[in-house]
Amino acid sequence: MAYLELRGVEKFFAKHRAIKGIDLDIQQGEFVVFVGPSGCGKSTLLRLIAGLEPLDGGSLHLEGRDITDLPSAKRDLAMVFQSYALYPHMSVFDNMSFALKLAHVAPEIIREKVEHAARVLDLTAYLQRTPKELSGGQRQRVAIGRAIVRAPKVFLFDEPLSNLDAALRGQTRVEIAKLHRELGATTIYVTHDQVEAMTLADRVVVLRDGQIEQVGSPLDLYDRPANQFVAQFIGTPQMNMLAADRLPQLGALFAGTGIHTLPAGGFIGLRPENVQLQPSGQGQLQGTVELVEALGAETLIYVAMPSGVQIVARQNTRTALHAGQSVGVQIDAAGAHLFDAHGRVARLGTAAA
């Protein structure tokens, strides 16, 4: 039996079916990340689990106990929101202990729990400050600390890092990963950020239009996408998706791979690392550099083909290439994914073997 079970979960907003019969099992101690495009239902699904929205169909079970109709306060869950939702007039200590005080927990136990959470989150020196005296990252850690002191069965995070700048996002992401390891807590985390999903999750749940497209480890989804949508959604920059009909010359690349013809109306999917650039006149295709993104440890090069198709190549070295320069394009056919006209997988690349 799974620790948290979702069975046929549905949600309607008027006539719009926002969540469409979702089934999902989450194990104790697992870190599960919900990802998907805006409007796919990931935050709505989290709110249904939290009890902040009523279900219109299906059921929720936690440790075998039906929590479908329980109010949020009785589900033994703790949620950290995108906004910090701290009481501005209260100290950090009072913010973190507020729920325990409402539950009439003994003062000595409250102090022990708050001081422990403060040590874990490096907030001990700030316990007597008010939120306005803290940085954004510190405020988010206070919100996380408020959840920790409750010792819930499941932590729920709704895009908790989106209000932070890039440096703080990276730092706080590492802190959340460490916190998960130390507490061994079951965690469900909603994000639109690819890096957060790939680095934090034990399993990633990819959602689209209120339905689950695929569930798996980050690298399973990267190497073995269930369909074209998942293939393009997972990975930054996203997978190159080339219409087979616009580049018929690519058919010859698959000789010896067991593929004799490309899927009619289908697509060839290439990760940027499966594209290598050569001097002009070499390689299987010819193109023109449109943009070079020099990121230090890696370089992304955007190449326009005569057919109007754009290909992105990733290399781990710096380059002297510049916009407007002609280049050859060498494609690793063995690493290519093939999709039919309906986005279904026709062949997975060798990275998935």
CATH number at residue 123: 3.40.50.300
Domain boundary among 172, 193, 223: 223
Which pLDDT score is estimated for 353? Answer: 43
What is the per-residue pLDDT for 29? Answer: 95
Whether residue 219 is found in the same domain as residue 255: no
Residue 229, domain member (yes or no) = no
d(CA 351, CA 353): 6
**Domain presence at residue 233:** no
Residues 113 and 172 in one domain: yes
247 with 201, same domain? Answer: no
* 79 shares a domain with 208: yes
How many domains does the chain fold into? Answer: 2
Tell me whether residue 141 is in a domain.
yes
- What is the block-wise mean pLDDT of the chain (353 residues), using blocks of 10 residues? 94 96 97 95 97 96 96 92 88 94 92 91 93 90 90 92 80 85 91 91 97 97 96 93 78 61 82 95 93 94 91 94 95 89 89 52
Residue 230 within a domain: no
CATH code assigned at 264? 2.40.50.140
The partner residues of 80 in beta bridges, in order of sequence, read 157
Q: What is the DSSP string of 94-120?
A: HHHHHHHHHTT--HHHHHHHHHHHHHH
All residues at 6 or more sequence positions from 61 whose CB lies less than 8 Å from its CB, including other chains: 4, 5, 7, 67, 68
pLDDT at 254: 65
pLDDT at res. 259: 60
Domain range spanning residue 180?
A: 4-223
Among the candidates 194, 223, 252, a domain finishes at 223
Instruction: Quote the pTM value.
Output: 0.89
- Check whether residue 52 and residue 109 sit in a common domain: yes
At a CB cut-off of 8 Å and minimum separation 6, what does 3 contact? Answer: 26, 27, 28, 29, 30, 62, 63, 153, 186
Q: What is the CA radius of gyration of the chain?
A: 24
8 A C-beta contact, residue 200 and residue 181? no
Q: Are residues 123 and 269 in the same domain?
A: no
